[in-house]
Structure 1
């Protein structure tokens, strides 16, 4: 739905009231609506909340963002919540990535590698590292929460840290989570697993989150304030 120059994700659900939310990292606007509410009512509701929407979008826009990466020596890159300096090393062997002295990410690439190739090597390494961490964390929290997944995956997502397909019992996790502290990764995993108990983000969902991860709201705030 469009309200002026504002794009709104509209989702119709079996709920009683309209729910408005603004999501990181770029201020995506979402309205959940009961099936019976017509478009014009939703549009007027959105217009009445424009001030609140703009205020919250401004907060996200003011948050720190990494400048575009060129994948050259001296750049800052993040891994599991820590900042590292990239050190590009050209050699004749297969590309690889090595963490050195808790200070450097040594990126070994072939001679003549262009920016896109250097980026791909680091991205592949990030993906491999995240996928290595996920299975034990999912298994841990499945036992705590009392649910089970059928599948999980990692992909790049622009507006969400994770998603859950409740019917398929499949969760997706944002590749960017490998750059964040581990408790932030665990928060997202718990969030998505709890959706297997409660579809919506209402009081029941929050009660489950507080039961299984008492500090979840602090982790959420920390995650949304970190550079994306």
Structure 2
């Protein structure tokens, strides 16, 4: 069979600029202001900018944020390593508690086995990808059991009908809300965080059922429902998204 070669086209509106702090991945959009973020995987620079702004202005904007970039990269360095194909981390947090992750190759266990004891997760599998699938499914079951309790409790506390709740893997968001469908999606990786930080994201998405935008009314809803939510906001950045 002939091997088909597919041509990769650049993403529309995306360009790359050289900069002393690292290459800038620049995406121009119909927006009024510049926005800078760091890729959680490697600390690379990502900038969204108005369509007509010059490359020089973008570089100057990044230079003006040098101290912030340095502090964020140091924070990223302290996070657990991002999970990549062919490798599992040697530790993983579940609901804020750290567990050692031990994998054993075993060709006789066709479907693999996962056993959690105390502060260790043991996995027997025929390969890394099977182990990763077992770990992800275990996390999904644990997370669903928690959400089945926490989401209805918070919805009742906020005087809302309980929305449909689903779990999915997300690369850059902790949760989303479909207001019309009254459905919230929560990132599987929240299973790694303390329950108090998970509650923050649940309340945030439920608050969108009251107020669509991030405005004073929205934050008023959050303050009334969960007065301590700001204490747990930094936890989201500390744990980050690692590609579970």
Aligned length: 211
- SS in structure 1 of the partner of residue 171 of structure 2: coil
How far apart, CA to CA, are the structure 1 residues paired with 2:138 and 2:164?
A: 21
Correspondence 1:105 to 2:118? no
> Normalization by structure 1: what TM-score?
0.75
List aligned pairs for 1:213-228, cutoff 5 A: 213-228=226-241
- SS in structure 2 of the partner of residue 85 of structure 1: strand
1:61 to 56, 65, 73: 73
Q: CA deviation at 1:93?
A: 6.5
Q: CA deviation at 1:79?
A: 1.1
Q: Is the 8 A contact 1:144 1:212 kept in 2?
A: yes
Residue 181 of structure 1 is matched in structure 2 by 194
Residue 78 of structure 1 is matched in structure 2 by 93
Query: For residues 168 and 131 of structure 1, do their structure 2 counterparts lie closer, same or farther at Cα, with a shift above 3 Å needed?
Result: same
How far apart, CA to CA, are the structure 2 residues paired with 1:153 and 1:11?
A: 31
Query: For residues 122 and 149 of structure 1, do their structure 2 counterparts lie closer, same or farther at Cα, with a shift above 3 Å needed?
Result: same
How far apart, CA to CA, are the structure 2 residues paired with 1:44 and 1:209?
A: 40
Query: For residues 163 and 179 of structure 1, do their structure 2 counterparts lie closer, same or farther at Cα, with a shift above 3 Å needed?
Result: same
Q: Is the 8 A contact 2:177 2:183 kept in 1?
A: yes
How far apart, CA to CA, are the structure 1 residues paired with 2:150 and 2:134?
A: 25
Residue 34 of structure 1 is matched in structure 2 by none
Residue 113 of structure 2 is matched in structure 1 by 96
- SS in structure 2 of the partner of residue 159 of structure 1: coil
Q: CA deviation at 1:212?
A: 0.9
List aligned pairs for 1:1-228, cutoff 5 A: 5-8=24-27, 10=29, 26=40, 39-40=51-52, 50=62, 56-63=68-75, 64-69=78-83, 70-71=87-88, 75-89=90-104, 90=106, 92=109, 94-100=111-117, 102-109=118-125, 113-228=126-241
Residue 9 of structure 2 is matched in structure 1 by none
Q: CA deviation at 1:203?
A: 1.8
Q: CA deviation at 1:206?
A: 1.6
Residue 6 of structure 2 is matched in structure 1 by none
Query: For residues 148 and 52 of structure 1, do their structure 2 counterparts lie closer, same or farther at Cα, with a shift above 3 Å needed?
Result: farther
Query: For residues 108 and 216 of structure 1, do their structure 2 counterparts lie closer, same or farther at Cα, with a shift above 3 Å needed?
Result: same
Q: What runs of 5+ residues in structure 2 fail to find an aligned partner? A: 1-12, 18-23
